[in-house]
Amino acid sequence: MKKLRKGDTVIILTGENKTKKGIIYKIYKKKNKALLQNGYAKEILINISNISFLKKVKSHYYPIKIGFKIDKKGQKQRVSKKTGKIIN
């Protein structure tokens, strides 16, 4: 299980599109890249190491680090490393 999935909101950390938000449209596992769609209908192919997950809290987005935790049913869940809350 990867930390980032299709449909996650992310922020770009480096390059000419730095600080822009986008949604993961497709992930290429072998190339370690993600195809993002930003609000302007522009598609960006970027290395996964150059993006960070964004969590929406009320009306703002905050970058967070993702970890994994095994729940009581034995399933692997994505969690926030800072708060320990489950990420859907």
Rounded to 10 degrees, what is the CA torsion of 15, 20, 26, 32?
30
Give 19-56 as a DSSP string: T-EEEEEEEETTTTEEEEE-TTS-EEEEEGGGEEEEEE
- What pLDDT score does 1 carry? 54
What average pLDDT does this structure show over 27-43? 88
What average pLDDT does this structure show over 21-28? 94
- What pLDDT score does 32 carry? 94
pLDDT greater than 90 at residue 27: yes
Cα torsion 75, 76, 79, 81: sign: positive
Give the model confidence (pLDDT) of 36-77 as tens digits: 998 776 898 999 999 999 988 888 888 999 999 999 999 999
Q: List, in order, residues 6 or more apart from 5 with CB less than 8 Å away.
A: 24, 27
Query: Considering only CA atoms, which of 68, 1, 79, 39 is closest in space to residue 25?
Result: 39
